Amino acid sequence: MLTIDQATYDAIVAHAKRDHPDEACGIVAGPEGSDRPERFIEMINAAGSPTFYEFDSTDLFQLYKDMDERDEEPVVIYHSHTATEAYPSRTDIGLASEPNAHYVLVSTREHGNNDGPVEFRSYRIIDAVVTEEDVTITPTEESTP
């Protein structure tokens, strides 16, 4: 099961809507081994495409270096599908390379850049086997000023 707080959920959805009709992508990092998605990081889709996403190789290096220094790992790897359902494609499955991550897919096919509900689903993808999991959204804790 993926447990994610409301603010992070909203940030992923907002990113997907903003980049529609291109696919949006990013990561939510968290402390290694914690399974807690805490640090939301929007990435640029270097492919700039409605049917493909790829992190820029230099951005990817910097991202992993930062996570390494903070003892973090990618807890959520998200991207959007803009014309199809929020289910991993053959490409998604073939390229999934983080066995510990929750792969989140958001579909913006219904409302595009506009307000309105989106499909938001989460999967484990390990050795090309896709397992869907429940998503629990928790209230965002107010940080003390």
Per-position DSSP letters for 88-125, written without gaps between them: --HHHHHH---TTSEEEEEE-TTTTTSSS--EEEEEEE
Q: Is the CB of 99 or the CB of 117 nearer to other proteins?
A: 99
Please choose, from the candidates 48, 65, 41, 44, the residue with its C-alpha nearest in 3D space to the C-alpha of residue 56: 44
Q: How crowded is residue 89: how many other Cβ atoms within 10 Å of its Cβ?
A: 14
Q: Is the CB of 75 or the CB of 144 nearer to other proteins?
A: 75
Q: Is the CB of 7 or the CB of 126 nearer to other proteins?
A: 126
Q: Is the CB of 97 or the CB of 143 nearer to other proteins?
A: 97
Q: How far is the CB of 84 from other proteins (least distance, A)?
A: 5
Q: How far is the CB of 36 from other proteins (least distance, A)?
A: 18
* Three-state secondary-structure class, residue 87: coil
Q: How far is the CB of 11 from other proteins (least distance, A)?
A: 18
Q: How far is the CB of 40 from other proteins (least distance, A)?
A: 15
Q: Is the CB of 99 or the CB of 145 nearer to other proteins?
A: 99
* C-alpha span between 112 and 46 (Å, rounded): 20
What residues make contact with other proteins under the rule CB under 8 A? 23, 25, 27, 43, 47, 49-55, 57-58, 60-61, 64-65, 73, 77, 79, 81-84, 88-89, 91-92, 95-100
Q: How far is the CB of 133 from other proteins (least distance, A)?
A: 18
* Location of structure tokens 């494609």: 89
Residues 106, 118 contacting (CB under 8 angstroms): yes
The two tokens of residue 16 are 């997907």
